[in-house]
């Protein structure tokens, strides 16, 4: 059975993580599946503008950076109740299809299999969401480089909607209550769906098992290579720079 590298980076500064993300994509270390837990932070999608998406005066205690993949904001509050994952692999039309939606569907299938394990009605919603009873529980983003893909995503275990809306650009404050109600109808998280808080390590272990089953591989714990560490160090100034974040 083919072995893939597995890394759990634990609690990490998202600027460091985004640099490692890019280093893994641009290295030659083979297919990799990894987890991390972000500290209080905001990650902008590659094409987003910070001043358009965020009420920057309310974001002063957040670490902000930008990723190399598209999509929307990845917001992490003080609860640290999110499972963040990454997949880097070679596009070969079998495991990772050339078709964008097809590749999203394949990788998001791991999240769906995990949620079904918990007896939830999970499904894929194109282009890149996973939903439970049509409520978003996971957002995902992807980029490609020299025949490889990088996909990141988040499985929400808990979420502070009010805080997310506080830091976002909302046209008028008086619409806050309506906005919260609207977001609540379209967004959910695992603790809410299960009616209890489950251990994050337990959920990650289920995801690992479902990943192995879906891709018919075995995950072997590893770490960054020397080449990846050097590339990460080279990339770090970019992810810490205002030029990258607020461009």
CATH of the domain at 45: 3.30.930.10
3-state secondary structure of 225: coil
| Residue 189 token pair | 């998280």
Output the pLDDT for position 140.
Answer: 97
- The residue range of the domain holding 40 is 3-245
Question: For residue 56, how many other CB atoms are within 10 A of its CB?
Answer: 14
| Residue 159 token pair | 């979420």
Helices (DSSP H) in the chain: which residue ranges? 14-25, 50-53, 100-117, 161-167, 176-186, 190-194, 200-215, 226-240, 242-245
Q: Find out whether 65 and 239 touch, Cβ atoms under 8 Å.
A: yes
Task: Calculate the CA 201 to chain-centre distance.
Answer: 17
Cis peptide before 127 (omega within 30 of 0): yes
| Residue 60 token pair | 């002063």
**What is the pLDDT tens value at each position of the chain, 247 positions in all?**
899 999 999 999 999 999 999 999 999 899 999 999 999 999 999 999 999 999 999 999 999 999 999 989 999 988 889 999 999 999 987 889 999 999 999 999 999 999 999 999 999 999 999 999 999 999 999 999 999 999 999 999 999 988 998 998 865 554 456 666 777 789 999 999 999 999 999 999 999 999 999 999 999 999 999 999 999 999 999 999 999 999 8
Exposure string of 143-155, with b = 16+ CB inside 10 Å and e = fewer, is: bbeeebbbbbbbb
Q: Distance between CA atoms of 42 and 236, rounded to whole angstroms?
A: 17
- Our count of domains for the chain comes to 1
Residue 239 to residues 37, 98, 218, 235, Cα–Cα distance (Å):
17, 28, 32, 7
**pTM of the full structure:** 0.94
Q: Find out whether 155 and 82 touch, Cβ atoms under 8 Å.
A: yes
């Amino acid at each position: 059975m083919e072995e893939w590298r597995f890394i759990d980076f634990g609690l990490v500064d998202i600027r460091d993580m985004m640099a490692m993300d890019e280093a893994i994509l641009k290295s030659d270390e083979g297919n990799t599946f990894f987890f991390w837990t972000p500290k209080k932070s905001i990650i902008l999608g590659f094409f987003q503008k910070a001043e358009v998406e965020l009420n920057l005066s309310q974001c002063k205690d957040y670490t902000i950076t930008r990723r190399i993949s598209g999509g929307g904001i990845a917001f992490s509050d003080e609860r640290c109740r999110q499972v963040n994952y990454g997949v880097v692999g070679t596009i070969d039309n079998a495991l990772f299809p050339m078709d964008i939606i097809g590749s999203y569907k394949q990788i998001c299938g791991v999240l769906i299999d995990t949620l079904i394990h918990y007896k939830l009605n999970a499904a894929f919603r194109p282009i890149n969401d996973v939903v439970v009873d049509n409520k978003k529980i996971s957002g995902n983003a992807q980029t490609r480089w020299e025949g490889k893909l990088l996909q990141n995503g988040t499985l929400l275990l808990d979420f502070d909607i009010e805080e997310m809306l506080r830091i976002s650009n909302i046209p008028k404050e008086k619409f806050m209550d309506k906005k919260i109600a609207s977001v609540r109808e379209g967004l959910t998280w695992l603790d809410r769906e299960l009616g209890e808080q489950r251990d994050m390590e337990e959920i990650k272990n289920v995801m690992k098992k479902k990943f192995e089953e879906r891709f018919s591989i075995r995950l072997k714990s590893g770490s960054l290579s020397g080449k990846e560490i050097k590339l990460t160090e080279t990339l770090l100034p970019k992810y810490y720079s205002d030029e990258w974040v607020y461009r």
